[in-house]
Structure 1
Amino acid sequence: MRARFDLDVSLHRTAAGLAMTRTAIAVDRTPLRIQGLAGSSLYRSMRAAGVPAKAVETYIKAIATRLSIGRDVSATDRFDLIVARERAATGETRIGALLFAGIDQERRTLQLVRFAPAAATNNQSDLATAEGEDAGRGGWFDANGQTERRAVSGMPVIGRITSGFGLRVHPLLGFTRMHKGLDIGAPRGAPIHAMTDGVVSFAGRTGGYGNFVKLVHGGGLASGYGHMSRIAVASGTRVRQGQVIGYVGSTGMSTGPHLHWEVWRNGGAINPRSVSLASAAQLSGPALRAFKARVARLLAVRTGT
């Protein structure tokens, strides 16, 4: 019987009873590399070249973090991708996740490599590594070992904007003054997410903001989240993009459950909707060496082998 992709098992009768024999099946784990012209439709061109639909979707999402697919990709550009693959000696093939997403353009070449530092340093297979990254333990890095992650959504909580940035008549004080952020109406207890990586510089109760969390993101950017019913982080801790930092409430000077969201650049309040929040990380040390070795292995894969 076929016990596993890489293992056959047979049972046979002996004088002492049934005996089991295990026979390993040789497996070639060379990834699959596919290249071709973008043409009039990048998606259709890649599918016509034999790229699995899921890999095409992942490729487009990865490339879209660095350039606009509709505006920046032309028909003469060449796509280049590598997917994890296992080929058993029995003839069966398993296709895994996308490992490499590249595009060659006239003025630039973009190369993104899927990499999970912990999985790579443990010498896991490409299929296992890709599955680990899908679980959130890694991401897409450029050839220099830097990654960029976009904000998980347009706002840190699901809701509707009830008061915008700028001058307004304060609902409780009754006079006009500057509203330095956005008010987002949402149900009490709704989770509030960090829009990008950062360090918690304050988490506690403060004046009219009630329960308040301030995150420092680097590059002169910081963000604040007020009127929480409950805070889920502590001062001095590091948070990741998308992490829950608290829950919607109506503490402080508030007329009902909502999130007050502020963003500062170099200490000055700016409209949160005017800034594109993203985070970047740079590999270093053993992780960078493992990454460079991975890039070299992937780029050595021949097209269609």
Structure 2
Amino acid sequence: MKNVAVVVQDGAEPFGLGSICEVWAEPYHPDDDNPVFEFVVCTAEPGRIEGGSGFDLFVEHGLEALETADLVCIVPKLDFRHNDPRAVAAVRQAADRGAIVSAHCTGAWVLGDAGLLDGRECTTHWRHADELAATFPKARVNPDVLYMFDGNILTGAGAAGGIDASLHLMRRTFGARAAATTARRMVVPPHRDGGQAQFVRTPMGQTEADTLAPLLAWVSERLDEPMPVERLAAEAHMSPRTFARRFRDETGTTPLQWLTGQRLALAEELLENSSLSVEQIASRVGFGNAATLRHHFAASRGTTPQAYRKTFTCLEEQSA
């Protein structure tokens, strides 16, 4: 890998461009012994490009830079649903000849427009994952990971997820030492634990239901208590079978799945805002013990309760 070409369009997000530059545009430093690349920023019409944060870019190079690029990076932009057909075609041609094509956050829409997500595993910012899947139904969208590499197509999650994706490619291409050195220079971890599921806020008490709304509120105040379906059905004055059917009709999920989600949401709040131990939190939210909480937390959030607390606890509380 020698040549890196970065595609920008009107509305380019500065952090998206900056994160790419931090990894691939760095000049040689003897202390790092880092790889150096021919780095070019390009666009369909060279000249002034409207930026997405109150300042513009001046881009000298056109899309012909993609013809010899080993790596093509796509910068996210504000109006991500509308992409220049010339940029889309050039990205497609680069991928077809074997170049690695990388896009993070909403830059994935360019890949989708180019047909490069069809049949591939990919990701984007968790807030846009459902829309990406709906817009490109042949894509296999995974909203929980920080990055996904399928064939020669690399996709990353939102914002800093582009750094994770680039460091993964650096590690895969040049080895762990090069990736670690790059990360150290940027003052970021070379690999972040967990996926982006841990960043999705799941507020409590947001489930809409018609006849079951009072019951859901009642349960939310008693999450530390055992809540078998029989108890819930009795509280709702229904048979267990009728209750289970009504619950799915009104909430779109099962009582157990809903209850687990509520308990996890409360566990997140307590991990962030209390000094309770993981064992105490597990008991408080109704999981009974820390092992059960860790199991559900890992399955749903892709990380551990301890790692989540370390990541999201306020700095003031950490230093107290």
Q: TM-score normalised by the shorter chain: which range applies?
A: under 0.3
TM-score scaled to structure 2, two decimals? 0.27
Larger RCO, structures 1/2 (Cα 8 Å, 6+ apart) = 1
TM-score scaled to structure 1, two decimals? 0.28
Which has the larger helix fraction?
A: 2
Structure of higher CA gyration radius: 1
